[in-house]
Structure 1
């Protein structure tokens, strides 16, 4: 896409939905998203509601690119995905895993506000027991620990043979220090927020702060830009999502399909956390994979899960503000 589409053209097809979650996640029990159609198909704009306009504008750029421009040719047609385990009581672990058909890897949320390390250990233990010794477990702290806390947690969780720690600390400097401390433990560190929320997404690689990166198509500006970032860092990448609808997940799948190398299972199975979706055949894991390809929402589901009038107005106003920012940024 070489030019910014007119605002009126975008708003003409916008549908705003509010989807119930099967399990409370990130402190919410519904996920809101704005969907719209362009010449290439449907796209999703769904930055979390607390994100400010400068950050959200990049998400809009990604959605516009997906709706208005052909995407890179896929190098694979199925994407292996991981299960995502919210910060639930250990007793609920089998219930959550049952939603992820055939997944061999589980990402477990840890460092949840209001919980303690013992809660994390119990949850990861329950996942290991459910997955058996062959299952792969990674944990995601969303930057919730300082370096000492992260080192202590890594030791406490070491018996569960973790694949990697995702964003254990908030800053690239902390990640670099922790990586040095954990080197003898051979426990890789993955950077997520330090890539997608950073002014310079390459800084974490230059600082030697991560062994791999987690990339998301929406917050990085689209498939092409995210693919460029992966190439420029020179690090292995895991493609993930932000609790998208199946429309948004299809964009993530397009990114995963376009990467020359895909060493890790991707975090694109999160439609399994939704109790409803916007397509008749949701992009949930089947045999541990999701398919690559564009999807079209079902009009009846868009109607059934339409957000309230005030929420629709809120999202339309947000699109208008972000569109104005893209117009002044001049990067489209």
Structure 2
């Protein structure tokens, strides 16, 4: 597959900085570089701390989405979960109100500077808001060691967890934790152990997870993500990386193309943005988002354009990552 030249990418590149409605992952704004290809708008938005080798995979996904026809969709709408950042328990209701109709909530836990009691209070507030029929999943982003994770899951188990996402960082730790809590009926989901791994299939071979959390950008695009799911044979939850609505449209088309979709997806995160780059953002309605490509608004691109130094930083990153893709193709 031929790649567009760097000049072609630069010709449509727009860098935006969007304010968040609630602080998330230590961020108050979300930066993204947007591209327009023959198939429509696409997004390149690896987090700023990621190195070029990891970010280049996100660029491969952006190019594939903007320049190539995507697999056919099996669905027209995708059920999504609410995402609850590591907010105080008293703020949970206001966060959930941004996700109308969602009956599943993913709750961030193990936030730096907080303690387990904060997590328990937050999850309890979500359970109180959703009632007994609501589904709650937690995400620790690999912050616990095995003993900490076992202790935390013991304290959180009364809230009837749907699953625990990436409670520990390494595949070996996940496998050990899964062995320890085997009779607790708390499935383990792998996220970073798939999307940040040199071998995304290792977690399945090690028996370290019950399901996968997959994201189109970090895995190199929709086709590559579908290939990974098929190779592992594990059920998957499609999620996002705090994308703009353009990035979320990539995730929605990934979820729409999946053979099985047994879980609500983490694709409602436009609700965490205080602004977006389209007049028709992919916000949850009735607990779902539609499957469609998103068109950027020139006025909103201008309004939320990143400062000049950040614009230049992203274009330089784009160039470095594009060269890495050439080097990978040649090797």
Fold match (TM-score > 0.5):
yes
Q: Alpha carbons of 1:331 and 1:263: their partners in 2 closer, same or farther (altered >3 Å)?
A: farther
* Structure 2 partner of 1:308: 307
Matched, 1:106 2:105: yes
SS of 1:173's partner is: helix
The gaps in structure 2 that reach 5 residues or longer are none
User: Partners in 2 of 1:106 and 1:195 — Cα distance?
Assistant: 22
User: Partners in 2 of 1:170 and 1:252 — Cα distance?
Assistant: 24
Superposed, 1:165-204 pairs within 5 Å as 165-204=164-203
* Structure 2 partner of 1:291: 290
* Structure 1 partner of 2:11: 12
Superposed, 1:1-332 pairs within 5 Å as 2-330=1-329
RMSD: 0.8
SS of 2:106's partner is: strand
User: Partners in 2 of 1:37 and 1:200 — Cα distance?
Assistant: 31
CA shift, 1:202, in A, is 0.2
Q: Alpha carbons of 1:283 and 1:243: their partners in 2 closer, same or farther (altered >3 Å)?
A: same
User: Partners in 1 of 2:79 and 2:5 — Cα distance?
Assistant: 37
The TM-score, its normalising length taken from structure 1, stands at 0.99
Moved segments of 4+, more than 2 Å: none
- How many residues were matched structurally? 331
SS of 1:183's partner is: coil
User: Partners in 2 of 1:36 and 1:148 — Cα distance?
Assistant: 44
The gaps in structure 1 that reach 5 residues or longer are none
The one-character-per-residue Cα deviations of 1:111-165 (angstroms, maximum 9, x if unpaired) are 0000000000000000000000000000000001000110001110011000000
The one-character-per-residue Cα deviations of 1:217-265 (angstroms, maximum 9, x if unpaired) are 0000000000000000000000000000000000000100010000000
User: Partners in 1 of 2:163 and 2:35 — Cα distance?
Assistant: 36
The one-character-per-residue Cα deviations of 1:78-112 (angstroms, maximum 9, x if unpaired) are 00000000000001000000000100100000000
CA shift, 1:331, in A, is 7.5
User: Partners in 2 of 1:331 and 1:122 — Cα distance?
Assistant: 52
Q: Alpha carbons of 1:79 and 1:331: their partners in 2 closer, same or farther (altered >3 Å)?
A: farther
